[in-house]
Amino acid sequence: MFGYNGPFIVNTNRVQIAPFTPFAVGNPLCATPDQPFATCFRTTQQGFPTGFTSSANYSTLLSEVRYIPKNLPTGYIQSYHLTIQRQLSNSTTFEVSYVGEHGVKLQVLADYNQAAPNPVTATCNALATKGCLNLQSRRPIATFTGIEETIPAGFLTYNGLQTKVEHRAGHGLYLLNSFTYSRAQDNASGHLDTPAGDNSRINLANPLGDRGPSAYNQPLNEILTIVYDLPYGKGRMFGGSAPFLMQEALGGWQITAINSASSGIPVNLTYSENSNQDVSDILVYRPNVIGGPIVLPKSQRTKNRANTTLTALNSATVSVPGPNQPYGNAGRNSIRFDPFYNLDLGLHKNFPLYFEGTSLDFRAEAFNILNQTNYQYPQTGAGSSTFGAVTAATTAPARVLQFAAKLIF
């Protein structure tokens, strides 16, 4: 990991105070190349101050270090399935499958220098926090800040029942129905895939506590696809002897439909830790669950006065832990939000043109044609004024209509 650590690589984020504007007073522009950030505003053209990335300025108390232990074992995943297919008729087939996966020794991330929680003392407890120890004094290696290590502690399991019905009718109808009932579990999300408050790092103080449903686990998935050639026009059931212009206008159309229904996504309950609760900068902190149900029934959900947010979680069912027990009892991905429903329709026709080999392909498509409101997940920060709020940013798109024409020659 030498090539990824300081002083060879220094990841730095500097927030500058803007220079004077009509609305605010900030730092003046830097006058010399060596003037530091703290005293002036540096433009892009001025670049970084001299010696900004010098190894002499590198400090393990300011920069997170990455660490890979030697002799790291290779993780592996076992995949297995059993499928039975049956032809029900000349045009219909049915398929049922069991699909499974099991993975162990997968590489996950953790903080090797994760601090111990504050000890319970007369001045550091649920009622008094002024005498609590700071984060750095509680770390195993006091001369380093967080040390992000790669460890072979990841695991995953997947078990799924999958069915498929496929029907091809001679009169222009095609139908495909796919259904899945499954369960996926792991102890960390993908490093760049952490939806709904999930985390890609595990808690070294309680690795088993991070075992839970995978971030992508939606137990029920039902998708119905239909393609139907309307029975009017040349070579079809009706309209074969109709006038040419009528056949061109009304014949040859195709309708498509995709209807989707699935379980909601798993959601993590979290809270923003203070300095006394902090044990690592790369963990997601989960609160205590003190009752239920956490997800409010739709009849009990309320909107704010501006009608911009919808409160969908019960704040009375969660609480923020004290400084001595930062790890709440809420499990990872422990709640599941609303199911997802969606119907897409399409209308398609290919118009032959006068010149041989040329045609005009026309499509009209409606996504979420029923304008179903699909909430993805709410705000889950316990103790926050926005806890349980669903906003437009976490709501699936409303109905979308689009039209397209393509000239083929």
pTM for the whole structure: 0.81
For residue 104, pLDDT beyond 60: yes
Over residues 173-221, the pLDDT tens digits come to: 999 999 999 999 999 998 778 888 899 999 999 988 899 999 999 999 9
Residue 57 has φ and ψ, to the nearest 5°, of: -90, 0
Q: Could you tell me the residue ranges of all domains in the chain?
A: 1-58, 104-166+174-228+252-408
For residue 257, pLDDT beyond 70: yes
Please give the average per-residue pLDDT across 104-123, as a whole number: 95
pLDDT of residue 353: 78
pLDDT of residue 59: 82
Over residues 67-96, the pLDDT tens digits come to: 898 889 999 999 999 999 999 999 999 999
Over residues 293-311, the pLDDT tens digits come to: 999 998 998 888 777 788 9
Over residues 332-363, the pLDDT tens digits come to: 999 999 999 999 999 998 887 777 778 888 99
